[in-house]
Amino acid sequence: MPATIRDVARASGVHISTVSRTFSAPHLVNPETRVRVLACAEDLGYRPNRAARALITGRTHNIGLIVADIANPFFPPLIKAAEGQARHRDYHVFVADTNEDPVAEEDLVHALAKQVDGVLLCSPRMSNSLIEQVSREVPVVVINRQVAGLPCVMMDVGQGARAAIEHLLGLGHRRIALLGGPRGSWTAREMRRAATAAARSGSAELTVLGPNQPTETGGGALAEQVRRSGVTAVLAYNDLMAIGLIEGLDALGTRVPHDVSVVGVDDIALSSITRPKLTTVATPTAAAGRTAVDMLLQLDSDAPRGARGRGAAAGDRRTTAQVMLQTELVVRDSTGPVPAPGRDGTGA
């Protein structure tokens, strides 16, 4: 039923190679011929068979995007940006969701490897060595993590965490908790490192709680622990946890920011809607998505791995660009001055 290149060739009275060139190298075919071929193709509803094309060129014109949890509002803007950028370059994006599971992650990247030209690993939970291994099988760009020798696009959460802690210090807080992220998260490690350093240089005490699930539930589950710990401020791994925590504290009668200040990370859309509006570290997620796609496609055009590829002779120079995008503290209503001492912050 579907028209092939042969049907078009017959209809327009040229050889199939001319039809092929009409689509993949238009400048090589006579304008008159081209319009005739295009007309016939249009007429027959012909669309090049991507499988056949992929078989010979070695490129699928698809890229894979693996995220930890598509339901986490942090990811959709990144996905949209990546999709847009890819589409713009005539690529499509496979989105896959690992449910925060490193094993599912590995399975997915293998399953995807054979049908995409490259993979974007977004906030990977697997080990660096596994990532390196995977990168030998398929071109990879890593988002939200630093892996030596691999192209990465990161957001400067270290700087963000520092800014958040300094903001809290400025409000007088000296007992601060850090709600850690999921096990295996580079971002979580970076935040911890930077927050610890910033707290120390401000002579504040930093309590690390975690690792945790980076969701509302994960944040809410820590409310009791936060209250008991006697801290007056909290920096959460992300906005979702911050929101869950605020909710949980509220249920315990502890008010934010009156009794406890809370800072999130990501600046998801939700954060400017919930009450109180969340003070947070804004991350440039859309830019990260676009940049990562560009880097992957760049990588891809540098080192062709097609059927006709000449081997690895040329591709060895390994660009391995590593991009660090800036973050920014957005102060809203969930942070305030440290409460007067004497009360213990339970709000009772």
Partner DNA sequence: CAGTCGGCTGCAAAGGTTTGCAGCCGAAGA
Partner DNA sequence: TCTTCGGCTGCAAACCTTTGCAGCCGACTG
When the beta carbons of 112 and 152 are compared against DNA, the nearer one is 112
**Residue 324 touching DNA (CB under 7 A):** no
Residue 6 touches which of DNA, its own copies, none (Cβ within 5-8 Å per kind) = DNA
CB of 52 to DNA, least distance (A): 3
- Contact with its own copies (CB under 8 A) among 38, 44, 96, 330: 96
When the beta carbons of 206 and 282 are compared against its own copies, the nearer one is 282
> Among 9, 54, 49, 56, which residue's Cα sits nearest to residue 29?
9
Residue 113 touches which of DNA, its own copies, none (Cβ within 5-8 Å per kind) = its own copies
- Contact with DNA (CB under 7 A) among 5, 63, 112, 120: 5
Q: Specify the stretch interacting with DNA by CB under 7 A; choose among 2-10, 130-138, 153-161, 274-282.
A: 2-10
- Contact with its own copies (CB under 8 A) among 39, 55, 103, 251: 55
| Strand order across the beta sheet in which 233-236 lies | 205-209, 175-179, 233-236, 261-266, 279-282, 328-330
**Residue 60 touching its own copies (CB under 8 A):** yes
Helix (H) or strand (E) holding 64: strand 62-67
CB of 328 to DNA, least distance (A): 44
Q: Return the ∠ at Cα 176 (arms to 280 and 344), rounded to 5°.
A: 115
**Residue 97 touching its own copies (CB under 8 A):** yes
Cα–chain-centroid distance for residue 268? 13
- Contact with DNA (CB under 7 A) among 39, 43, 45, 49: 49
**Residue 275 touching its own copies (CB under 8 A):** yes
Dist CA 74 CA 48 (whole Å): 36
**Residue 88 touching its own copies (CB under 8 A):** no
Q: Specify the stretch interacting with its own copies by CB under 8 A; choose among 36-44, 76-84, 181-189, 197-205.
A: 76-84
Dist CA 236 CA 260 (whole Å): 13
Helix (H) or strand (E) holding 287: helix 285-302
Q: How big is the site for its own copies, counted in residues (CB under 8 A)?
A: 47
CB of 108 to DNA, least distance (A): 20
Q: Return the ∠ at Cα 211 (arms to 329 and 167), rounded to 5°.
A: 20
**Residue 187 touching DNA (CB under 7 A):** no
CB of 165 to DNA, least distance (A): 53
Residue 81 contacts residue 286 (beta carbons within 8 Å) = yes
Dist CA 164 CA 262 (whole Å): 10
Q: HSE of 34 in the Cβ direction (CA atoms, 13 Å)? A: 11
Dist CA 123 CA 127 (whole Å): 11
Q: By CB under 7 A, name the binding residues for DNA.
A: 2, 4-6, 13-18, 20-21, 23-25, 28-33, 46, 48-49, 52-53, 55-57, 307-308
